[in-house]
Amino acid sequence: MATLKVDWIFTFACAAYNLVRILGGQWGFWEGTFLGALVLGVYANWFQGKLRIPAEAILLPDIMLLVPGSTALRAAYLAATQGYLPGLKAANEALILVGCILAGLLAGNIILPSSEGKAES
């Protein structure tokens, strides 16, 4: 049963990553990240209610794929090689992506609230 849970977590991590790549390429750099985090938030809350495992155990490996580490590294590289303005632009994009991840997770919790705090009847 444990491998089944890991398979589902991995499947939705790959789906969210592909959603970010496809929609990010078509719409813009932040829209795909927002929708990927939104899908992950809804999925984690649904999976928590279905299999009774913490949503954080689902979100942690999945969000690690969405975090813009390469964008932040590129910002530091651009600031060191080309000057502060290109580096600040890339750092601004990285901060926008982090904000989109947070907003997507919050919107996911609004669409499908967590069952963790609900009283059992």
pLDDT, one tens digit per residue, over 95-121 is 998 999 999 999 999 998 877 655 454
Q: What's the predicted TM-score (pTM) here?
A: 0.80
Q: What is the domain range of residue 105?
A: 7-111
Residue 117 lies in a domain: no
HEC profile of the chain: CHHHHHHHHHHHHHHHHHHHHHHHHHCCCCHHHHHHHHHHHHHHHHHHHHHCCCHHHHHHHHHHHHCCHHHHHHHHHHHHHCCHHHHHHHHHHHHHHHHHHHHHHHHHHHHCCCCCCCCCC
Residue 121 lies in a domain: no
Q: Considering its fold, how many domains does the chain have in total?
A: 1
pLDDT, one tens digit per residue, over 6-59 is 787 788 788 878 878 887 778 877 888 888 889 888 888 888 888 777 888 888
